[in-house]
Amino acid sequence: MSKRKGSVITNAVAVKTSRVTVVDAKDATEDKNNQGPSFKHFPKTAQPATGDIGIIESITLKNFMCHHLLGPFQFGPNVNFIVGNNGSGKSAILTALIVGLGGKATVTNRGISLKDFVKTNENAADITIKLRNRGPDAYKMDVYGNTISIEHRLSSDGSRTYKLKSKSGNLISNKKEELTTILDHFNIQLDNPVSILSQEMSKQFLHSKSDTDKYKFFMKATLLEQMKRDYIYIKHTKTVTRQQVQRHEECLKDLKQEFLQRKERYENVSSFTEMKSVLENLKKTMAWCLVREKEQLVEQLKADIEKEENHNIHQENLQLCQTKVIQMEKKLQEIKSQLDRIREEQESLTEESLKLKEQDKVTGRAHKEQEVVYFRALNKLKQSEKEQDLLQKKTTKAKASIILNSDGETEYAKRQKTLCGLREQLEELENKCTQLNDEVKNKRQAVFKGKEERDKLRLEEKNIQASYESKLKRKNQLLASRSNKLKRFGDSVPDLLDSITEAHVSGRFVKKPVGPIGSCISLKDPTLAVAVECCLRSFMKAFCCDNYKDEAVLQELMSQHYPKSNRPQIIVCPFSEKVYNLHGRKVCHPEFPSVMDVIISTSPVIMNCLIDMRGIESILIIKEKAKARRFMQRGRPPKNCREAFTVEGDQVYPNRYYTSDFSMAKYLGGDLETELSMLEPDLENLQAQLSRFQLQVASVTEDIVGMESKLNSTIMTLKKTVASVNQVKATITELETAAEDQIDDISSLEEVAQENQLKIEAEKQTVHEAQTELDKYQKMAEDIGCKYSSVRERIDQLSEEMEPLRDEQLKLETECVKHERNLKTLENKLNSHEDNVQAMKSELTQREEQLQEYVVKATKISPERLHVPGSTKSIDAEITRLKKKIKVYESSHGEQEQVVSSLPKTSHIKIHQLQDPEENQSETGDENA
């Protein structure tokens, strides 16, 4: 700053009063002990005039950088020094001066944006700078007074506002342009290192070994760089000025061209008058030409009316059509009478047909009923004959059984002896079947018990196998987590996280997903790991997404590493930079912490997600079981507390208690080697149990196979014995039936046979009578059927006779309708013809009146009738052509009066200047040179 003697300015927190004299050793010691900086200014023997402008009188800072308040900081008129400990705010004063006078944040080398200068947890920072404004070179002395106060406010969102006030505190302006004008007037250059040299720029200048950088510093410090920009601007202005001169020279040529055009317009005034006179004559000719055409139209219309009145073709056609219509109606009436006669005969035959059809139905029904009676009697006769044959066979068989055999015994006695032996054999076989059934039942129970024992052993073997595989998988995860802790959450988790990172770099995610949740949290107390894992459970392996679009991309990535049924859970909740405000919702207890209190996480997203999904702010951790039961179930839980967990992972509600199935933390446990050493003996024990159960299952299976083999053998023996029993029973039944048949009395059989013979004779007589009646009904039905057929044939014949008559009737009706339509059309044409003649007469009257009007108008335009050789079309074309020509002339040269009135004015132009443009151009070029 050229008009000030010198100053070095920086930010500070505290303010010390300015001193005029040099500080002694004691004062320096006191200054070192102060928290804020102090400054000294050294007066010269000869004080300069107090009217210097642009000198910084004071600076005041509020909430700037890390300082709450600094100022007002009073400066002396000469050299000022600011001293203080590190961090007391020396550099802050210089930074505030640059920013307060409108400099950019990057110039200070202390921040990237203006919001970086606002103190943490504050909304804005204030900088107040007072500049001296005295003497003859003062800026707007009557407005600002002796001091210009610059108040600059920086907001936490990066915006800035200015207030320029006078010495009395009145607001003069709030625009940056006014501040820039003041700085230019005082010649204050914020970006000139000679005026303000920051620490970074001084280091860069001192350590720089490049001649280019030193030359740039020299150009900026000596203002040669500004002069270079001004010189470039002057050259550009000179070029623009030359171009303007050339444009004005071209305008001079245009003036000469305008003079020549106006001269030509004046010369054409005479031809313009002639065109107007010709146009007037054409208008007169046009008027009488229209009269002539109207007369011709009237004569033509009279001839047309006479022709139409003599034209009688429509009347003749109408009479001819009326005659045809009358003939058609007579023919149609004759056909209708024939159809009526046939229709009456057809209706009478139809009634007779209906009566015959009804008789045929009654006769047919009686015939069917008699046919049923006949066949029923015939069936009874056949049945009686079968019974008679059976009785004869039984009688013959009974007589044959009485004859003695060769041993002197009857056939009956021999059968009784055989039956006794078969019954004894049947009793032995049934006893054997009972024994075999009992044996099969016992062996089946033994097989069932063996299978039950085998199934129990296999179930225990399966449980031990699952436990063994789970512990083996846990062991492998622990071994893998020695090198990568993420493998605790699954072998595919590291690869999945790499895929998420690649997708985020390529821009597929709006916000990068966070997870797994268990890897993003830690515990204040490691002994509570089991309790926290029991509380969070599946959320330990879950991922968090900001939106559903990111969730779809993450699902796609998971499908590459996990099967569909075993993917980690994805929780969608908008990401936030701050943890939720839980005032009034969080459980608070002086003795027991909440799950939220024992979890440590640097990500607010994880904490907010667990609050939303699990409610960790309302879950307590009570280490002891008894105390947890007493506190949650017997007492009254604190406000906002809905459940609690013990150190073993047991879940406690006010009305129920769940025991945990976890014995050790899987994800939050810290000691891998201890857990591995505990897993080794468990795996060996499970392996031994698994081998023992496999041997037992093999032994039991072998026993079951042996028992099933014996059971199948016994079942086969039982089936054979049952078949023998059935065979003996069938033989006994057959012998008993034969014995019963032989016992029948022969005499009774013969009596029954005689009675049956009499019954057969009676039934034969009944069958004969029924057949006679059936033949009678059949003949009646055939007679009625013949009559009905003849009537139907006559009806069909009448229908065939009616068809051509109906066709002829339809044809005649169609022609009648057609002729009637033609008749109406001809009547309409005749009426139309008469109307047309009447209309033509009306039109003739109108045209005669119109002709009289045209004659009157033409007489007004031209009293004498003119002979017109051409047509109105050609005359109208000529008039239009002349009008266009006159219009073009007037548009290019103006009206006649204007042309005449403008010529005297143009005569005053210096024509000799327009005739020698090259000479003028040379003179202009000399002036420019």
pLDDT above 90 coverage of the chain, percent: 9
Q: What distance in Å separates the CA atoms of residue 80 and residue 57, rounded to the nearest whole number?
A: 11
- Minimum mean pLDDT among 19-23, 466-470, 497-501, 833-837: which range? 19-23
Instruction: Determine the pLDDT at residue 479.
Output: 63
The H or E element containing residue 651 is strand 651-652
For 101, list phi and psi in degrees, rounded to 5. -90, 10
Q: What distance in Å separates the CA atoms of residue 67 and residue 13, rounded to the nearest whole number?
A: 5
Residue 409 tokens, joined: 């015994």
Instruction: Determine the pLDDT at residue 228.
Output: 87
Instruction: Determine the pLDDT at residue 68.
Output: 85
Instruction: Determine the pLDDT at residue 129.
Output: 93
Q: What distance in Å separates the CA atoms of residue 772 and residue 75, rounded to the nearest whole number?
A: 158
Instruction: Determine the pLDDT at residue 912.
Output: 37
Q: What is the DSSP string of 76-116?
A: -SSEEEEE--TTSSHHHHHHHHHHHTT--HHHHTS-SSGGG
Higher pLDDT pick, 281 / 482: 281
pLDDT of 685 > 80? The answer is no
Instruction: Determine the pLDDT at residue 128.
Output: 94
* 877 contact partners, CB below 8 Å, separation of at least 6: none
* 260 contact partners, CB below 8 Å, separation of at least 6: none
* 566 contact partners, CB below 8 Å, separation of at least 6: none
Instruction: Determine the pLDDT at residue 267.
Output: 63
Q: What three-state secondary structure class fits 183?
A: helix
Environment class of residue 431 by beta-carbon count within 10 Å: exposed (0-12), middle (13-18) or buried (19+)?
Answer: exposed
pLDDT of 3 > 50? The answer is no
Instruction: Determine the pLDDT at residue 19.
Output: 32
Mean residue pLDDT of the chain comes to 77
Q: What distance in Å separates the CA atoms of residue 541 and residue 479, rounded to the nearest whole number?
A: 19
Is residue 587 within 8 A of residue 559, CB to CB? The reply is no
Q: What distance in Å separates the CA atoms of residue 63 and residue 71, rounded to the nearest whole number?
A: 12
The residue among 516, 480, 466, 532 whose CA lies nearest residue 676 is 480
pLDDT of 307 > 70? The answer is yes
Quick: pLDDT tens for 571-591: 998 998 888 888 888 888 888
Q: What distance in Å separates the CA atoms of residue 98 and residue 67, rounded to the nearest whole number?
A: 17
pLDDT of 815 > 60? The answer is yes
Region 406-414: mean pLDDT is 54
Quick: pLDDT tens for 635-676: 778 888 989 999 888 999 988 888 887 777 777 765 555 666
Region 56-76: mean pLDDT is 87
Quick: pLDDT tens for 849-898: 877 887 787 787 777 776 766 677 777 777 787 777 777 766 765 555 55
Q: What three-state secondary structure class fits 678?
A: helix
Quick: pLDDT tens for 142-200: 889 989 999 989 998 888 898 999 988 889 998 888 988 998 888 888 777 777 877 77
Q: What is the DSSP string of 223-250?
A: THHHHHHHHHHHHHHHHHHHHHHHHHHH
Instruction: Determine the pLDDT at residue 148.
Output: 93
Please give the angle made by the CA atoms of 174, 177 and 183, to the nearest 5 degrees: 105
Quick: pLDDT tens for 745-796: 566 767 777 777 787 888 888 888 888 888 888 888 888 888 888 888 888 8
Strands 570-572 and 79-83: unpaired
Instruction: Give me the residue label for tokens 């023919």.
Output: 331
Instruction: Determine the pLDDT at residue 60.
Output: 92
Instruction: Determine the pLDDT at residue 688.
Output: 79
For 514, list phi and psi in degrees, rounded to 5. -115, 135
Is residue 690 within 8 A of residue 465, CB to CB? The reply is yes
pTM of the model: 0.32
Long-range contacts of 201-207 (CB under 8 A, 24+ apart): 201/109
pLDDT of 538 > 80? The answer is yes
CA 235 from centre of chain: 61
Instruction: Determine the pLDDT at residue 273.
Output: 67
Quick: pLDDT tens for 540-556: 889 999 999 999 999 99
Instruction: Determine the pLDDT at residue 894.
Output: 56
The H or E element containing residue 605 is helix 604-613
